[in-house]
Amino acid sequence: MHWKPPVGSAREERVAKKLRPSSKFYRFLWEVRRELFEGGLEEKLIAAYEPRGQKPCPPAMLAMATLLQRYEGISDADTVDAAENDRRWQLVLGVLGAEESPFGQGSLVRFRQRMIEKDLDRALLDRTVDLAKSTGKFGWKTLRVALDSSPLEGSGRVEDTWNLVGRAMGRVVAVVAAALDIDESVIIAEARLRVLTADSIKAAIDIDWDDEGAKFEALRELLAQVERLEAWGSKRLGKLSDESVRRALTTLRRVVSQDIEPDPGGGGGPRIKTGVAEDRLISLSDPEMRHGRKSKTKRFNGYKRHIAVANGIIVAAAVLPANAREHEATGPLLDDAQAHGEVAALDIDRGYLASPRLAELHGRGVVINSRPWVVANDGLYTKNAFRIDLRRRLITCPSGATARIVPNGKTSFSEHDCSACERRASCTTSRRRSLSVHPNEGLLIKLRRRKQTHAGRANLRKRVVVEHRLAHVGAIQGRRSKYRGARKNLLDLRRSAALANLHEIARLRLAA
């Protein structure tokens, strides 16, 4: 079903003319609405989404409504309301004067689901890149691509160990009750799950939380209840295999094992682990959320959004759990960016440096611009003080001694050289100095050298464009995620990036 907004409508022209300056982006979307879905995008949307119900709506119109929804940052219900009552929305959607919204909430939800299943959010973002190309402002044969990321707070409720375990038990009870077609209260009573007998987990436990002894006993009792629940389930379920029961039990086991360990001083009793497990599940309502760090001291919970920018346009986006290393996004971002031109240069933060893709790019002659890793080495000589000759496989130290590079290991200078060395106090506290040579040391050497030069530092400052685009995307998408799960939030990021690109295209066209 093709979208056929009016062409040359005098009424639309009148409404568009009257729009206030603050609504000029609506006017731009109105002007560009046909062009946006050309280039095969509308056909892809039609192939993926079958309109149904009493109000069949063309998928291209739903895609435009999806963009407008993110532009305003509103719910599905308010999106339907805006399509019915806001003249700016009606202008863009081509339904001026309509008494009813051309779509319902269900259509929006189904359409987003289809976009995710068929990766159409990527196609929408790609189409905005095509529009940017058509402005003819930049060359797209070879690209200078910049990557950057920012925190995206998750919308799931973050819970402590007590609540996580209690709520995971509640889930098991719910799915087991459904599988056996019995009331949850039967399981709670028979397995003596006192933790599930009050309005909240903490109310059911009801201890003085400052009393360590009481906490120890409460934890022991909580684990006993977990075991009774598992035993009750396996006895009653027998051979019944139910996927939702299996998943709920796995989650329960996971939250117990990630947060609780035997207390070495507790006579075999349990204690809550100190510190945070590497991949700790922090929310049952959004199990993909993780703890992440904004800096050494500031933590956040949720995801990280990553973008790739070329010619001031966002060409790729990725969303990863907050604990994922920066470099895990490098591959997906570069794969998407390369669809728009050959990557000739890459501007990155050091976090992306660890990606194995960088060695391959560097080997192909792609220029990598990044600050090198800093190794402080407690005031002793850093790698910078040594001359590393990869061709001859030799390292020369500040005193002129040499050592042969050990592949994939530590290269050590001889004890003979170091023991007689006048600079030893500035070099090492051991009997001899050792250095590790990174598999991608050739690139790291270049980065360290470039940072020493005025031109090299000036080049690094060019990353500022991606920082501005990331700030713009953050202003559109917001600080907190709208959805649960990385993939849904990726859709939200991609439509935010598409909007940021459309803003930039509007600016470029105005300047033409």
Output 44 or 432, the one with its CB closest to ligand SF4. Answer: 432
Residue in the block written with tokens 């470099």? 327
456 to 495: interface string for ligand SF4, x by CB under 6 A:
----------------------------------------
Output 215 or 423, the one with its CB closest to ligand SF4. Answer: 423
Cα separation values, 312 from 146, 235, 469, 503, Å: 9, 62, 7, 11
| Contact (Cβ atoms closer than 8 angstroms) between residue 323 and residue 278 | yes
Q: Which stretch binds ligand SF4 (CB under 6 A): 52-60, 138-146, 294-302, 416-424?
A: 416-424
β-bridge mates for residue 410, sequence order: 436
**Binding-site member from 291, 304, 433, 448 for ligand SF4 (CB under 6 A):** 433
Burial of 496 (0-12, 13-18, 19+ CB in 10 A): buried
Q: Which stretch binds ligand SF4 (CB under 6 A): 17-25, 75-83, 326-334, 424-432?
A: 424-432
CB of 419 to ligand SF4, least distance (A): 8
Q: Which stretch binds ligand SF4 (CB under 6 A): 179-187, 194-202, 425-433, 458-466?
A: 425-433
List, as own/partner pairs, every contact residues 398-401 make where C-beta atoms lie below 8 angstroms and the sequence separation is at least 24, other chains included: 398/423, 398/427, 399/423
CB of 406 to ligand SF4, least distance (A): 15
**Binding-site member from 29, 164, 308, 427 for ligand SF4 (CB under 6 A):** 427
Output 271 or 432, the one with its CB closest to ligand SF4. Answer: 432
Site for ligand SF4 in 218-277 (CB under 6 A): none
**Binding-site member from 69, 301, 411, 428 for ligand SF4 (CB under 6 A):** 428
Output 226 or 401, the one with its CB closest to ligand SF4. Answer: 401
Give Cα 440 to chain centroid, integer Å: 26
CA–CA separation, 213 vs 269, rounded Å? 11
Using DSSP's 3-state secondary structure scheme, residue 410 falls into: strand
Q: Which stretch binds ligand SF4 (CB under 6 A): 68-76, 158-166, 171-179, 426-434?
A: 426-434
CA–CA separation, 440 vs 279, rounded Å? 27
**Binding-site member from 36, 421, 437, 445 for ligand SF4 (CB under 6 A):** 421
CB of 299 to ligand SF4, least distance (A): 39
| Contact (Cβ atoms closer than 8 angstroms) between residue 147 and residue 348 | yes
CB of 387 to ligand SF4, least distance (A): 11
CA–CA separation, 235 vs 223, rounded Å? 18
Residue in the block written with tokens 């973008």? 307
CB of 461 to ligand SF4, least distance (A): 34
Q: Which stretch binds ligand SF4 (CB under 6 A): 158-166, 215-223, 363-371, 427-435?
A: 427-435
Output 211 or 415, the one with its CB closest to ligand SF4. Answer: 415
349 to 368: interface string for ligand SF4, x by CB under 6 A:
--------------------
CB of 413 to ligand SF4, least distance (A): 4
CA–CA separation, 176 vs 199, rounded Å? 20
**Binding-site member from 16, 164, 256, 418 for ligand SF4 (CB under 6 A):** 418
Site size for ligand SF4 (CB under 6 A): 13
Residue in the block written with tokens 């890149």? 129
**DSSP secondary structure letter of residue 211:** -
Contacts of 416 (CB under 8 A, 6+ apart): none
Q: Which stretch binds ligand SF4 (CB under 6 A): 176-184, 311-319, 337-345, 413-421?
A: 413-421
**Binding-site member from 70, 110, 112, 424 for ligand SF4 (CB under 6 A):** 424
CB of 392 to ligand SF4, least distance (A): 17
A 10 A CB-CB count for 265 gives 6
Give Cα 344 to chain centroid, integer Å: 25
From the list 477, 490, 506, 484, the residue with the least C-alpha distance to 122 is 490
Site for ligand SF4 in 68-97 (CB under 6 A): none
Output 162 or 413, the one with its CB closest to ligand SF4. Answer: 413
Q: What would the two tokens of residue 430 be?
A: 């051991």
CB of 441 to ligand SF4, least distance (A): 17
CA–CA separation, 241 vs 232, rounded Å? 15
**Binding-site member from 220, 423, 451, 503 for ligand SF4 (CB under 6 A):** 423
| Contact (Cβ atoms closer than 8 angstroms) between residue 316 and residue 333 | yes
| Contact (Cβ atoms closer than 8 angstroms) between residue 386 and residue 380 | no
Contacts of 89 (CB under 8 A, 6+ apart): 26, 65, 68, 82, 83
383 binds ligand SF4 (CB under 6 A): no
CA–CA separation, 57 vs 5, rounded Å? 12
Residues that bind ligand SF4 (CB under 6 A): 397-399, 401, 413, 417-418, 421, 423-424, 427-428, 433
